[in-house]
């Protein structure tokens, strides 16, 4: 059990810097998910914690001890790799027990530990097989068992579920969380799948282009995204963005076609004249007769989701998506009113992309 | 899936012909000729061959000089293969660690394979000459210590080193390719599991290199029996006192210098059978231990 502290950590290859001064505090037993697109530096950060990449600048502390110059196995971390990295020439039992063998544990003791760990992840019948004879999910379990058996202070996961099919991925995700709830080791899990991040994390770290955009509980990140980037990355279906200019009188965001979304007076006054991106989640919008919503948009097509339907409208040169469980019938090419739910608008500075204010804007439909 | 095929069989025959002609001219025809000679005896002044059955083989196998030649060949095969494989593996492991300058080094390592065996032999003959260069210096410090012209063991060591040196380049290419095809993440997993460089090499890299190792072993042993003529001819001519009279060299010696075509032909048949048998044994017993992934 250990806390991890990452201070001003940077990583450069040759002349290009890929991680630009990251700070992160992970407390003991916490499950952290680092979320970001490929190439954002999340795997590099994880590998620096593991000791598989050198740290260009900054300090990584595990248990309050700097580990920059320690060998991987001296850091007390165990890692689950994306392709599992199982030793193909060893049996499942040998794979799981390899770390103990290297550590010089006697054979009997090793066998006992291997069989108890294997039982805990449901691998008992497969101990004599080789990785090549296992399915994707079973290999994943072997990789987990290999990490668990070392009783590490820290668990590191490098996109461990991305090679599995959708159904298995959900199942393994739940299993990982169950294991974490049982052994409570500090865990850092890297993924590009926002759903994985939301469901697994105690705290979510959203990374983009080598910097941390936001750190927070999944719900917080969802409801108060700190930047346009986070807002667009988190949530499915993705958030809608409209551009507009904030005006103090009347207190509203003026959209390009002259329509407006009403804002609270103090918010509008604080940002008078500012160009903003207005973010609204599809589930916060509803379809109303033309002219009675916040703005009108032309219906394009809809996607059936079973429990709801996702409607796509054309507004100026943008697409606006509306998620509706009522599934109203709309004809293609017909303009409809789009109503913005109260309390669900996110404002971002059009220049910096940063969030302009916390929640709490009261929205009223523009009178027809 | 549909197979592509030629409607006109003669086009196909024409395309295959060059390869078939080459194989027939340089393999099947000489082999058939050797078989014919091996079971016949040519009269001293020409005038037709007489069928003698297994007499040629009996004569050879009853000759202690031939058994000495087999022994010498085995020593050479084991010596040069061990050295060539060991050196190549060591070098490949270093090249695989990607220390600075390894690219230049990698290309430089491959070149010796392009040198013809007699040229290698000649170069090493100068290097190991007791009366010149570095070995002369050694001989001055310790008089009479190095003289492969008289000492059979030294002559053998010299031939083994030259033969291995040439083969190292070839083996190196395969070992390096084999090492580089092992996923990095396996090595990293080993490091996370606490294994240090040498331990990882022993437990992970070498076992995964087994298929390459097996291939290189078969090729090297075969090569050391059949392809050592050039080096022996330029370095020792089989001497001193037949200490380096390898089977291939004895075939050449008996056939083209002793003009005993029938005896030489019988020897080449025995050599061929020996190489086939060795290859079979290797596939049968060693390949079992190889784990292909």
Beta bridge partners of A186: A154
A301 touches chain B (CB under 8 A): no
The stretch A240-249 carries a mean pLDDT of 87
Whether B188 and A83 lie within 8 Å, measured CB to CB? no
For a pLDDT cut of 70, what percent of chain A falls above it? 96
Q: Is the pLDDT of residue A368 over 60?
A: no
Whether the complex's predicted ipTM surpasses the cut of 0.90:
no
Within-domain flag for B178: yes
Within-domain flag for B134: yes
> Which tens digits make up the pLDDT trace of A96-138?
999 999 999 999 999 999 999 998 888 889 999 999 889 888 9
Q: Is the pLDDT of residue B59 over 90?
A: no
- Class of the CATH-defined domain A237-349: mainly beta
Within-domain flag for B58: no
Counted across chains A and B, CB pairs separated by less than 8 A come out at 63
Least confidently predicted of B18-27, B99-108, B215-224: B99-108
Q: CA-to-CA distance for A40 and A23, rounded, in angstroms?
A: 15
- The radius of gyration of chain A from alpha carbons, rounded to an integer in Å, stands at 25
A358 or B54, which is more confident:
B54
> Which tens digits make up the pLDDT trace of A56-101?
999 999 998 999 998 888 888 899 998 889 999 999 999 999 999 9
Which among A73, A87, A89 is the nearest to B194, CB-wise?
Answer: A73
Q: How many domains does chain B have?
A: 1
CB A119 within 8 A of CB A150: no
Residue B145's pLDDT is what?
80
Q: CA-to-CA distance for B18 and B30, rounded, in angstroms?
A: 17
CATH, residue B193: 1.10.3720.10
Residue B175's pLDDT is what?
92
In the predicted model, what is the mean pLDDT of chain B?
Answer: 85
Within-domain flag for B27: no
Within-domain flag for B11: no
> Which tens digits make up the pLDDT trace of A191-234?
999 999 999 999 999 999 999 999 999 998 998 898 999 999 99
CA closest to B185 among chain A residues: A85
Which among B185, B194, B208 is the nearest to A89, CB-wise?
Answer: B208
Sequence-distant contacts of B198-207: CB under 8 A, at least 24 apart: B199/A102, B201/B93, B203/A87, B203/A98, B203/A102, B204/A87, B205/B93, B205/B179, B207/A89, B207/B291
Residue B291's pLDDT is what?
67
Within-domain flag for B4: no
| Burial state string for A269-294 with b = 16 or more CB within 10 A and e = fewer than 16 | eebeebebbbbbbbbbbbbbeeeebb
> Which tens digits make up the pLDDT trace of A303-355?
999 999 999 999 888 899 999 988 888 888 888 998 887 577 888 888 888 88
User: What does DSSP assign to residue A227?
Assistant: B
Whether A81 and B189 lie within 8 Å, measured CB to CB? yes
Residue A364's pLDDT is what?
40
> Which tens digits make up the pLDDT trace of A350-367?
888 888 864 444 444 333
**Closest to A235 in 3D by CA, of A166, A321, A143:** A321
Neighbouring C-beta atoms of residue A65, cutoff 10 Å: 12
> Could you tell me where in chain A the CATH 2.40.50.140 domains are found?
237-349
Which residues from chain A sit within 8 angstroms of residue B208, using beta carbons? 88-89
> Could you tell me where in chain A the CATH 3.40.50.300 domains are found?
4-231
Which among A52, A99, A132 is the nearest to B194, CB-wise?
Answer: A99
CATH number 3.40.50.300 given to A4-231: yes
> Which tens digits make up the pLDDT trace of B157-206?
999 998 999 889 889 989 988 998 888 889 999 999 988 888 999 999 99
- Using the structure block, give the residue that is written with the tokens 């965001």: A253
Domain span at B206: 64-289
CB A118 within 8 A of CB A129: no
């Amino acid at each position: 059990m250990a806390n991890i502290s990452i201070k001003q950590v940077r990583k450069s290859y040759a002349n290009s810097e890929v991680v630009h001064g990251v700070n992160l505090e992970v407390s003991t037993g916490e499950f952290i998910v680092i979320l970001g697109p490929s190439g954002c530096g999340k795997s590099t950060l994880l590998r620096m914690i593991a000791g598989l990449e050198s740290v260009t600048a900054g300090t990584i502390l595990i248990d309050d001890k700097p580990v920059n110059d320690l060998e991987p196995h001296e850091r007390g971390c165990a890692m689950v790799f994306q392709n599992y990295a199982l030793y193909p020439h060893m049996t499942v039992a040998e794979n799981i027990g390899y770390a103990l063998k290297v550590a010089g544990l006697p054979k009997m003791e090793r066998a006992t530990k291997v069989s108890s760990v294997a039982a805990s992840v449901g691998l008992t019948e497969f101990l004599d097989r080789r990785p090549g004879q296992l399915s994707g999910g079973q290999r994943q379990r072997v990789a987990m068992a290999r990490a668990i058996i070392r009783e590490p202070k820290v668990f590191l996961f490098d996109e461990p579920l991305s090679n599995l099919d959708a159904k298995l991925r959900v199942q393994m995700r739940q299993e990982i969380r169950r294991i974490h709830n049982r052994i409570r080791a500090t865990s850092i899990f890297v993924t590009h799948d926002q759903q994985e991040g939301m469901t697994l994390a105690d705290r979510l770290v959203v990374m983009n282009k080598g910097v941390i955009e936001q750190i927070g509980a999944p719900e917080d990140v969802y409801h108060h995204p700190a930047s346009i980037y986070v807002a667009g990355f988190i949530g499915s279906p993705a958030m809608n963005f409209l551009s507009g200019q904030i005006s103090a009188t009347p207190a509203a965001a003026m959209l390009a076609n002259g329509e407006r979304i009403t804002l609270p007076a103090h918010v509008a006054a604080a940002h008078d004249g500012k160009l903003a991106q207005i973010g609204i989640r599809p589930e916060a919008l509803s379809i109303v007769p033309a002219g009675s919503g916040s703005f009108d948009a032309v219906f394009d097509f809809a996607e059936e989701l079973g429990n709801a339907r996702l409607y796509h409208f054309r507004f100026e040169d943008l697409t606006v998506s509306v998620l509706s469980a009522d599934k109203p019938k709309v004809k293609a090419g017909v303009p409809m009113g789009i109503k913005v739910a109260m309390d669900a608008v996110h404002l971002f500075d059009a220049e910096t992309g940063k969030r302009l204010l916390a929640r709490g804007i009261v929205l009223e439909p523009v009178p027809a | 899936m549909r197979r592509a095929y030629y409607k006109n069989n003669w086009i196909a025959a024409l395309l295959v012909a060059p390869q078939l002609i080459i194989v027939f001219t340089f393999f099947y025809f000489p082999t058939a000729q050797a078989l014919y000679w091996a079971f016949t005896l040519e009269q001293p002044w020409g005038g037709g061959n007489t069928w003698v059955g297994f007499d040629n083989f009996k004569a050879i196998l009853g000759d202690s000089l031939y058994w000495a030649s087999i022994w010498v060949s085995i020593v050479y095969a084991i010596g040069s293969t061990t050295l060539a494989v060991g050196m190549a593996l060591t070098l490949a492991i270093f090249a695989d660690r990607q220390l600075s300058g390894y690219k230049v080094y990698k290309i430089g390592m491959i070149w010796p394979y392009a040198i013809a065996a007699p040229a290698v032999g000649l170069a090493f003959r100068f290097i190991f000459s007791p009366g010149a260069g570095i070995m002369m210096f050694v001989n001055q410090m310790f008089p009479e210590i190095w003289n492969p012209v008289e000492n059979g063991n030294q002559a053998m060591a010299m031939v083994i080193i030259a033969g291995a040196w040439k083969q190292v380049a070839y083996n190196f290419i395969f070992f390096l390719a084999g090492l580089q095809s092992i996923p990095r993440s396996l090595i990293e997993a080993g490091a996370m599991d606490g294994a240090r460089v040498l331990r990882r090499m022993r437990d992970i890299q070498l076992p995964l290199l087994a298929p390459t190792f097996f291939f290189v072993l078969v090729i090297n042993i075969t090569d050391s029996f059949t392809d050592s003529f050039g080096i022996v001819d330029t370095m020792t001519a089989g001497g001193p006192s037949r200490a380096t009279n390898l089977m291939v060299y004895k075939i050449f010696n008996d056939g083209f210098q002793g003009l005993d075509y029938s005896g030489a032909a019988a020897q080449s048949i025995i050599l061929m059978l020996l190489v086939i048998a060795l290859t079979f044994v290797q596939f049968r017993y060693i390949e079992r231990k190889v784990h292909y992934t």
